[in-house]
Amino acid sequence: MRLQGKVALISGGARGIGEATARLFVQEGAKVVMADLLEAEGRKLSDELNKTGKNALYIKMDVTKEEDWAKAVKAATDQFGKLNVLILNAGITSQGRIDQITRSDWDKVMDVNSTGVFLGARAGLPAIKRAGGGSVIITSSQLGLVGGDASHAAYQASKGAVRLLAKNIAIQFAADNIRCNSIHPGPIETPMTAHRRADPAFLNRLMSKVPMGRIGQPMEIAYGMLYLASEESSYVTGSELVIDGGWTAQ
């Protein structure tokens, strides 16, 4: 198994890409902590993953709170003895051009998508260093690489910010045997995007930007996470893994 003996902490781990990643990681031999505000979904997933042994732990966490990150990292190391993989995946989106959004709209998205990633990296990196190294994976977006005519200004700014944060971490922690990369999903069938995908006009416009002509599935991103978490990517750091159906190839 590709992650045998590794311990991973996944923010936003209760559903969507985080849920798919947690399932795949346990299948590949990892112990997983899912940190999320969605308590019912998180506990249900944890119970399911633990049917074959002590494989998973759910912890309720708000990624914008420093104390919650400290508790999540401590829970991982207390329960499973160490931390090897940190997946900074939690995120939110919204709607509106930059001339339409309010300061509070901007702050809410940036707090979760950018500051939450910073807080998670700051909390988790010392534990990964103590474990002898490992992998940090930051969920950005294809919209962290290119502009968009219908996407939220704060969302794009936040995803661009964490792309460069990944490179900063990669350089500063390379000597500690810690790799850091960003992953850039295109449109994915998750609960976060369900409302907008239900609008036929929006969906048609979205599909016009995807050469493969379909929405991606969470497990297609999870397999990218698996590669970056495993030793198969031992010489990969400071890079972007784009999984977007061809969106950014145009």
| Sequence-distant (≥ 6) Cβ neighbours of residue 140 within 8 angstroms | 159, 160, 162, 163, 166, 182, 183, 184, 240
Residue 250 lies in a domain: no
Residue 193, pLDDT > 80, answer no
- The answer to whether the beta carbons of residues 109 and 64 sit under 8 Å apart is no
What's the pTM? 0.96
Between 199 and 87, residue with greater pLDDT: 87
Query: Whole-angstrom Cα distance, residue 111 to residue 123?
Result: 16
Residue 179 lies in a domain: yes
Residue 150, pLDDT > 90, answer no
Whole-angstrom distance between the N-terminal and C-terminal Cα of the chain?
36
- The answer to whether the beta carbons of residues 128 and 136 sit under 8 Å apart is yes
Q: What integer is the mean pLDDT of 174-201?
A: 89
Q: Residues 73-94: pLDDT tens digits?
A: 999 999 999 999 999 999 998 8
Q: What is the pLDDT of residue 108?
A: 96
Where does the pLDDT of residue 211 fall: very low under 50, low under 70, confident under 90, or very high at 90 and above? very high
Residue 247 lies in a domain: no
Q: Residues 27-57: pLDDT tens digits?
A: 999 999 999 999 999 999 999 999 999 999 9
Residue 152, pLDDT > 90, answer no
Residue 246 lies in a domain: no
Residue 192, pLDDT > 80, answer no
Q: What is the average pLDDT score of the chain?
A: 95
Residue 140 lies in a domain: yes
- The answer to whether the beta carbons of residues 22 and 33 sit under 8 Å apart is no
Q: What is the pLDDT of residue 209?
A: 92
Residue 134, pLDDT > 90, answer yes
CATH number for position 221: 3.40.50.720
Residue 173 lies in a domain: yes
Share of the chain above pLDDT 90, in %: 86
Print the domain residue range for 114: 7-241
The helix or strand, by DSSP H or E, that contains position 239, with its residue range, turns out to be: none
Residue 226 lies in a domain: yes
Residue 149, pLDDT > 90, answer no
Helix (H, G, I), strand (E, B) or coil at 87: strand
Q: What is the pLDDT of residue 194?
A: 77
Q: What is the pLDDT of residue 148?
A: 84
Least confident of 27-36, 124-133, 141-150: 141-150
Q: Residues 61-76: pLDDT tens digits?
A: 999 999 999 999 999 9
Q: What is the pLDDT of residue 195?
A: 73
Residue 79 lies in a domain: yes
The residues annotated as belonging to the active site are: 155
Q: What is the pLDDT of residue 216?
A: 96
Domains in the chain: how many in total? Answer: 1
